[in-house]
Copies of this chain bind each other. A is one copy, B any other.
């Protein structure tokens, strides 16, 4: 453990917590699956029995948020009520019921010399999660990391510190009561942003991976400062490409859903690309459907000349994640034009093609190099639950380790077990 004089009290506190989390992760990772299920059930029961306390802590955060003039969507994400707490509790039970990933034999084979080799799934270890002021994430992240045999160090957005702190205190109590190591779930004790820097430094090798969730400034800070691996979460600049072979009714329904079902999620479509070969027909119809659904449409010249009610797009529009009822529309030269545009501007999250021509669709599915590529489906399905993977800690736009929804399985790694009978190498 570092005991350098230059270490601040906060840094030392975090070093100690990470060392305890490492120890807890070793215990958790080698326990039987039932012990982790029991712990999650204890957590669900504990939260269920503490609704008034949780609401009291939440009221403090809400009061301060209003004083500080937070905007309405942020206050909404921060707010808990009985129904939302019940949803959080149900989420813990859902995670408990997922198949246990730890110890899965991913592959096994025998070598000619008789060595038996198995690749076995094991927990990642200690996971640092840096996220927004969303109290539900505090519990979701704790449940997912525990289920997969990991310890977690949480750093929620400062506006949710009272609520998240209360939730973590309850989780730790439940762990202790279930004879599980309470140090497996830890929340940084201060809103001081220096804590983020300490987590990114790896805390003496006791943080194995960082999961950052948040806006561009967090992502940039993480990419600059992280000394440990990161499961990346960039923004979602998601595209829908409407091929000339598309069924126009399906195209309208999917584009409107992909954009407007919920505009604030990372899987919401931000750009719609229209095949030039059908632009005269598709641009006005799709633009009209979007505008009628309450969406602002910013078009390139080829779109503006074909539909009414559009606003001219600028270069900035192709690289902007709106998270709002706004979309940018561009006319492209068939699937190759779509591939070209997407490979230049996509953030690698999710893209969808609407087409009846299977050959064109397969080309898109093969050549687009994003975490999720879809054919004739709404980008709003980019979600761990919708994929049938259970809860998720986020959607990774990075290329290594985990891509797409990050659930229990993605919070594991593997090791090789080699069983011999005294083999030596020639």
Residues in chain A within 8 A of chain B (CB atoms): 26, 29-30, 109, 111, 115, 117, 122, 124-125, 208-209, 223-224, 227, 229-231, 247, 250, 253-254, 257-258, 261, 343, 361, 365-367, 369-378, 380-381, 386-388, 398-401, 403-404, 413-425
Contacts and interface: CB of A to CB of B under 8 A. Distances in A.
Contacts of A366: 30
Given A26-B369, A374-B420, A381-B418, 16 more contacts: A26-B343, A115-B381, A115-B386, A117-B387, A125-B399, A229-B230, A229-B398, A247-B422, A369-B415, A370-B415, A371-B416, A373-B417, A376-B421, A377-B420, A378-B423, A403-B413
A125 B416 CA distance: 26
A420 B376 contact: yes
A372 B418 contact: yes
A371 B403 contact: no
Q: Which of A115, A223, A387, A399 counts the most chain B CB atoms within 10 A? A: A399
B223 A224 contact: no
B388 A419 contact: no
Given A377-B423, A381-B423, A401-B400, A369 B122 contact: yes
Given A378-B425, A400-B209, A415 B372 contact: yes
Q: How many copies does the complex hold?
A: 2
Given A372-B418, A381-B418, A417-B373, A400 B400 contact: yes
Contacts of A26: 343, 367, 369
Contacts of A115: 377, 381, 386
Given A111-B388, A399-B229, A415 B374 contact: no
A208 B400 contact: yes
- Nearest 10 A/B pairs, CB to CB: A377-B420, A257-B424, A250-B422, A401-B401, A380-B425, A374-B418, A400-B401, A376-B420, A229-B400, A372-B416
Nearest to A383: B425
A interface SS class: mixed
Q: Which of A29, A124, A418, A419 counts the most chain B CB atoms within 10 A? A: A418
A361 B424 CA distance: 18
Contacts of A257: 424-425
B230 A29 contact: no
Contacts of A223: 227
A375 B413 CA distance: 21
A413 B388 CA distance: 20
Contacts of A376: 419-423
Given A400-B209, A416-B387, A424 B111 contact: no
Nearest to A376: B420
A234 to B, nearest CB: 11
A250 B422 CA distance: 6
B420 A414 contact: no
A171 B250 CA distance: 49
Contacts of A361: 419
A413 B208 CA distance: 20
A343 B370 CA distance: 38
Contacts of A400: 124, 208-209, 229, 231, 400-401, 413
Contacts of A380: 424-425
Contacts of A403: 413-416
Contacts of A424: 253-254, 257-258, 261, 378, 380
A115 B367 CA distance: 20
A377 B418 CA distance: 8
A415 B377 contact: no
A396 to B, nearest CB: 10
A361 B398 CA distance: 37
Nearest to A373: B417
